[in-house]
Amino acid sequence: MPILCEPKPEADELSVSIGGDVRTADSLRAAARLLADDPAETLVVIGPETTTDEALTYSAALRLDRPGVGVILVREQVDVDLLTRALQSGVREVVATGDHSALRAACRRSREVSRRMLFGAAGAGGELVPEGGMITVFAPKGGCGKTMLSVNLGVVLARETGQRVCVVDLNLGFGDVAINVQLDPVRTVLDALPMTGHLDVTGAASLLTHYRPGLDMLLAPVTPGEAERVPSALVAELLGVLREMFDYVVVDTPPALTEHVLIAMDASAHHVLITTPDVPALKNLRVTLDMLDLLSYPREIRSLVLNRSDSKVGLGAEDVERVLRSPIAAHLPSSRAIPLSINKGTPITLVNPKHPVSQAITKFARQRLVRPAAAAASPGNEQADTGRPA
């Protein structure tokens, strides 16, 4: 039963948002007593009546004493400075006052993180657990080349392994996978809505758009407003079924850690994080890495890709690694061939496999993503292709 630190009557409204039975405490001292009496509890929500300094001090101490307990902070105003301080103090998420759905979702995510920390990700409750063939590609800032990389990884994995690959466009509001390969999104994720709760392989297959031999795609809705209609439960269901159907599933994501994105990351055996050598992109990725650490995602399943790595912008690869405090797994050089290939709807790894960008993506996939038993490339596969659907 979660603990809510907030004096009445404000506590009543927050309790409804958290959901279920909630124990309330009118001070952090009282909350600490409740927590001490219940060694199985894993969630503490601190309301806006508690000062930020007090809340962060409490969270920092709790992280050392009871690391399996998650702290959710509710504040009147949420800004970058607060988020940074909260992350440093061990707070799992900060939610704005009045955003009831966000608070409910944050509590659900925190409970799952705690469960995984304390009991492992055995999947006994039916939730998705990581498997080798699912890869989530993420960038916390738009314009870094995330969709370009997702599509080309799909092409390379299909070619290198000879196995079945699916690219999923999870950027439900502004997905670009279809336009990157000039596919007509006749069927999209939205068409899965009537199958929610009973989606099977046959139903999932009806949603796919074939691109080329060995490579299919699940496209995003055409109208941005339709994204709100896709529940997180359906995303989990879809990804679970697609893993049964394909050897590799590459998930392209929106530039934000939404609930849908976290579901994909939970289910993935590898996270590919892409950035460019500019300060805003690096700042956003640094904050993201801290968040992923707090959510207990293993660092060993994480690969950082630096796009436009040879850009003369005053930041070299060494500077990037110093800022991110992580090694770069792949360097993709700048090239006019990339926007040209996107405008033509032909991925660079298809139209020009020998191009330096294609070679960098292929090398990265071979080294980090292709499972040893699946490496079955043939010399004939290296020939250029038009990229048109078969």
pLDDT at residue number 109: 82
pLDDT at residue number 129: 47
Number of Cβ within 10 Å of residue 152's Cβ equals: 28
User: Average of pLDDT values for 72-80?
Assistant: 90
pLDDT in tens, 215-224: 999 999 988 7
pLDDT at residue number 117: 62
**Angle of helix 279-294 relative to helix 317-324, nearest 10 degrees?**
40
Average pLDDT of the chain? 85
pLDDT at residue number 228: 82
pLDDT at residue number 358: 95
User: Average of pLDDT values for 313-321?
Assistant: 75
pLDDT in tens, 243-291: 888 999 999 999 988 889 998 998 898 999 999 888 888 988 888 898 8
pLDDT band at 316 (very low <50, low <70, confident <90, very high): confident
CA 257 to chain centre: 6
Intervals of CATH 3.40.50.2300 along the chain: 3-119
Select the more confidently predicted residue: 114 or 149: 149
pLDDT in tens, 83-120: 888 888 889 889 988 888 888 888 888 887 776 665 54
Select the more confidently predicted residue: 65 or 209: 209
Cβ partners under 8 Å of residue 258, min gap 6:
none
Asked if 307 and 275 count as a contact pair (C-beta separation under 8 A), the reply is yes
| CA separation, residue 352 to residues 51, 156, 339, 355, 385 (Å) | 58, 12, 13, 6, 8
pLDDT band at 73 (very low <50, low <70, confident <90, very high): very high
pLDDT at residue number 107: 86
pLDDT in tens, 191-201: 999 888 888 88
Window from 66-70, 115-119, 382-386 with minimum mean pLDDT: 382-386
- When the candidates are 2.60.40.1180, 3.10.450.50, 3.40.50.2300, 3.40.50.300, the CATH number that belongs to 3-119 is 3.40.50.2300
Select the more confidently predicted residue: 264 or 11: 264
Intervals of CATH 3.40.50.300 along the chain: 131-382
| Topology, domain 131-382 | Rossmann fold (3.40.50)
Most confident of 208-212, 240-244, 259-263, 322-326: 208-212
Q: Is the pLDDT of residue 389 over 70?
A: no
Beta partners for residue 5, in sequence order: 25, 46
Total residues belonging to the chain: 390
